[in-house]
Amino acid sequence: MQTPSPFLTPDACALVLLDHQAGLAFAVESQARQTLLNNTLSLVKTALAFDLPVIVSTSASKVYSGPLMPSIKALLPDVESLERRNMNAWEDEQVRTAIVNTGRPRLIVSGLLTEACVTFPVLSALADGYEVFVVADTCGGASTTSHELALRRMEQAGARLISWIQLLLELQRDWTRRDTYAQARAIIEENAGGYGIGLRYAASMLTPPAST
């Protein structure tokens, strides 16, 4: 029997975004909110660059949480946000069906808050046989401690913890893959701090001066 690749590949993955809404972001204390948003935008750009199916779900949009954050929605204008009542998206038939219908065995999960609306569907998806990867730096908890404990619980249940930059580099893996090279590099340059600065610097140093 062929052993599944230990590496994430675009054809096996789907991105699940849960409750990236301002009303819930107000409660995040596990990292700076702007950093969390920037990381999430980088994650979404990565999914688009590698053509991953994206499932978006929100909750309590009309009464507390508000809609999907506008900067995220701007990247996903054609993706419907699936509204639900349950904190566990896996227990919502519409959301679960949308995820199952992607046909992807590996789920990349990001959301707010880590303690509930991320943890609960991750545990459920694991129980149903999916491989689940939680993008820890695009999830936010009500405190650093509760965020870390939630991550630990998911990891103990079998989830793998990754960052958005690790996901991008793992999906690319070979810089000679020209079909995604330009988009992947642009995301890093714009959003990966010192790494991005280094890439821009290297490009400027290696670009020959214009002839006069």
Structure confidence by residue, pLDDT tens digits, 16-49:
999 999 999 999 999 999 999 999 999 999 999 9
User: Which ranges of the chain does DSSP label H, i.e. alpha helix?
Assistant: 22-25, 33-49, 70-75, 93-100, 119-127, 144-157, 164-172, 178-191, 193-206
> Is the residue at 1 inside a domain?
no
117 in a structural domain: yes
Question: Strands 81-84, 106-111: parallel, antiparallel or unpaired by DSSP?
Answer: unpaired
Residue 1: per-residue pLDDT: 43
207/12: higher pLDDT: 12
| Exposure b/e, 37-64, CB count within 10 A at least 16 = b | bbbbbbbbbbbebbebbbbbbbbbbeee
From the list 183, 199, 200, the residue with the least C-alpha distance to 49 is 183
> Does the annotation count 139 as an active-site position?
no
Convert the pLDDT of each residue in 111-150 to its tens digit: 999 999 999 999 999 999 999 999 999 999 999 999 999 9
The catalytically annotated residue of 47, 95, 112, 117 is 117
Write out the residue range of the structural domain in which residue 145 sits.
Answer: 12-172
| Interval 170-199 mean pLDDT | 88
Is position 27 within any domain?
yes
The CATH number for 102's domain is 3.40.50.850
123 falls within a domain: yes
Residue 23 within a domain: yes
What gap in Å lies between CA 44 and CA 22, rounded to an integer? 17
Number of domains in the chain: 1
User: Is residue 206 one of the residues assigned to a domain?
Assistant: no
Domain-located, residue 69? yes
Residues constituting the chain: 212
Q: Is residue 105 part of a domain?
A: yes
pTM of the model: 0.92
